[in-house]
């Protein structure tokens, strides 16, 4: 289990949360006149993740899968002080890592299907470790980079993962022997086996089974006359505490699996690496978005659409799921039914549509591309405007929650962030906060429809950083708007203590 020195005390966690909240509130309050969406990035979260990794998987070297989030500050920290390797899949990713001073032997070109031009780039900079899973790739590599060190990516059972990768990559275990034979005949250097159980894996047995398949690959290699020295266990490790299987659970399955399929006596010479992406960054980003528009809806008279906090004992959030108007497209249709409602019935059926300034084309692309479920929290409530032309439905009471939906700013009807959420009544100008927004979010953001990408502010809530981390953070030349904060050891909070410039 995780030892004491990597586990947070409740006090520190609370202090950290207070710091974050204070800074996010100040982001919402004063800093930005245009109310642009803004990430608060806690690099301390990445540092802590790295520590837990070292603690639970000491034998496994992490190669950060940078496609997950190539944030320059996080990348710099991983490269220069945490000393991880990098999993790159394209010329540009390799270039980025190399520009950060990562030596080529700390990079794996982990794309089994590579464009020749990217492969030539890999050769030109000396990134010689790369994956493959088919004969065509072998021919290409033979032609472009014959002395590369190859890792055969095998197909493992990915049916327990939210994002299945087996449909696209991985050699069928039945073809492994044949592929290795071809590589041998071509005089190519195969050095090991890799797999990826899929992103968002929710069954730790998937890892155990993958190790079994990898071991079979090692045996086939030995039979073929190769001396495999590398096992690459891929990514798919959860980065948030609410994951179906915890990181600790996976680590314990892996530790057992290593002992069973790769016992030290026989495999002491084998270097084990992994390609974690979301694990490192998912929890590090919180996103603040501004409610720039609102639509009030007085639905039908079903009282179950009004939600109250559980402690009021009336109804819970499950009611909304069984309510009649939960599908998006029915929301507009009921508006004309309002006329005949009594005052109290009407009050009971109030719903809101909130429009915020980040979209499923930008930060929230994770909803579509990564099957993410995001949860809005109130960051800051704005005042209702005093206008006789605006009759505001419902109550301003914080305790009173309403069924609502949250939408992005684009003109696309699919740009919906939450189809069903429960929030208090929020005036235009209010702010919402979404946590755990670090994985597969800003990495694929686009400016579709002409909307700004979310800005970034950095914070460090980890006190026990070594000098190298401090040096990296201060050396990054963050503009004065960017905070680096510390939590004092007593758990007291000093928000915005050090401004970098």
Ligand X SMILES: *Cc1c(COP(=O)(O)O)cnc(C)c1O
Residues identified as active-site: 411
- Cβ pair 499, 483 in contact under 8 A: yes
Whichever of 131 and 359 has its CB closer to ligand X, that residue is 131
Note whether 246 and 283 are within 8 A (CB): no
- Give least dist CB 53 to ligand X, A: 12
Shortest CB 18 distance to ligand X, Å: 29
Cα–Cα dist 175/133, whole Å: 10
Nearer to ligand X, 15 or 150 (CB): 150
Q: What angle do CA 489, 8, 27 make, to 5 degrees?
A: 70
Contact footprint for ligand X (CB under 6 A):
65, 67-68, 87, 110, 196, 199, 234-237, 275-279
Q: Which is nearer to ligand X, 237 or 407 (CB)?
A: 237
Biggest CA pair distance of the chain? 84
8 A C-beta contact, residue 399 and residue 45: no
CB of 165 or CB of 484, closer to ligand X: 165
Distance (Å, whole) CA 204 – CA 238? 11
Closest CA to 381 of 26, 30, 28, 31: 28
Question: Three-class SS of residue 412?
Answer: coil
Give the span between the Cα atoms of 24 and 194, in whole angstroms: 41
Spatial separation of the C-alpha atoms in residues 234 and 240, rounded to whole Å: 18
Question: Which ranges constitute the DSSP H helices of 174-317?
Answer: 176-185, 205-224, 247-261, 264-267, 278-281
User: Minimum distance between the CB of residue 81 and ligand X, rounded to whole angstroms?
Assistant: 21
3-state secondary structure of 280: helix
Q: Which is nearer to ligand X, 68 or 289 (CB)?
A: 68
Q: How far is the CB of 64 from ligand X (least distance, A)?
A: 9
């Amino acid at each position: 289990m995780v030892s004491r020195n990597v586990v947070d005390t409740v006090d520190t966690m609370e202090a950290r949360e207070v710091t974050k909240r204070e800074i996010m509130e100040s982001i919402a309050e004063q800093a930005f006149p245009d109310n642009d969406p803004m990430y608060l990035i806690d690099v301390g979260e990445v540092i802590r993740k790295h520590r837990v990794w070292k603690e639970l998987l000491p034998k496994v070297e992490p190669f950060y899968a940078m496609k997950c989030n190539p944030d320059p500050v996080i990348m710099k920290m991983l490269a220069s002080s945490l000393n991880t390797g990098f999993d790159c899949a394209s010329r540009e990713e390799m270039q980025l890592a190399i520009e950060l001073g990562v030596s080529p032997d700390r990079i794996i070109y982990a794309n089994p299907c590579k464009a020749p031009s990217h492969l030539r780039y890999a050769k030109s900079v000396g990134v010689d470790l790369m994956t493959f899973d088919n004969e065509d790739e072998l021919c290409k590599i033979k032609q472009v980079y014959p002395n590369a060190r190859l890792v055969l990516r095998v197909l493992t059972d990915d049916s327990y993962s939210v994002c299945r990768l087996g449909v696209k990559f991985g050699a069928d275990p039945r073809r492994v022997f044949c592929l290795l034979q071809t590589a041998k005949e071509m005089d190519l250097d195969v050095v090991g086996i890799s797999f990826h159980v899929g992103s968002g894996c929710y069954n730790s047995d998937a890892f155990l089974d993958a190790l079994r398949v990898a071991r079979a690959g090692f045996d086939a290699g030995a039979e073929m006359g190769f001396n495999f020295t590398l096992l690459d266990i891929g990514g798919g490790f959860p980065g948030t505490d609410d994951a179906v299987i915890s990181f600790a659970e996976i680590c314990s399955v892996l530790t057992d699996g290593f002992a069973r399929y790769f016992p030290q006596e026989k495999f002491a010479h084998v270097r084990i690496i992994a390609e974690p992406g979301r694990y490192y960054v998912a929890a590090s980003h919180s996103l603040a978005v501004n409610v720039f528009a609102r639509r009030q809806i007085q639905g039908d008279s079903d009282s179950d659409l009004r939600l109250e906090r559980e402690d009021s004992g009336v109804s819970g959030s499950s009611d909304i799921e069984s309510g009649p108007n939960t599908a998006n497209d029915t929301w507009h249709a009921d508006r004309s039914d309002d006329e005949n409602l009594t005052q109290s019935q009407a009050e009971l059926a109030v719903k809101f549509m909130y429009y915020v300034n980040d979209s499923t084309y930008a930060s929230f692309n994770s909803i579509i591309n990564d099957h993410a479920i995001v949860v809005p929290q109130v960051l800051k409530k704005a005042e209702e405007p005093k206008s006789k032309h605006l009759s505001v439905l419902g109550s301003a009471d914080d305790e009173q929650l309403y069924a609502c939906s949250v939408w992005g700013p684009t003109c696309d009807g699919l740009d919906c962030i939450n189809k069903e959420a429960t929030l208090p009544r929020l005036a235009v100008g209010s702010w919402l906060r979404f946590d755990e927004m670090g994985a597969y979010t800003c990495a694929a953001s686009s400016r579709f429809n002409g909307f700004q990408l979310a800005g970034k502010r950095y914070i460090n809530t980890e006190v026990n950083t070594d000098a190298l981390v401090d040096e990296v953070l201060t050396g990054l030349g963050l503009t004065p708007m960017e905070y680096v904060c510390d939590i004092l050891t007593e758990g007291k909070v000093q928000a915005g203590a050090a401004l970098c410039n």
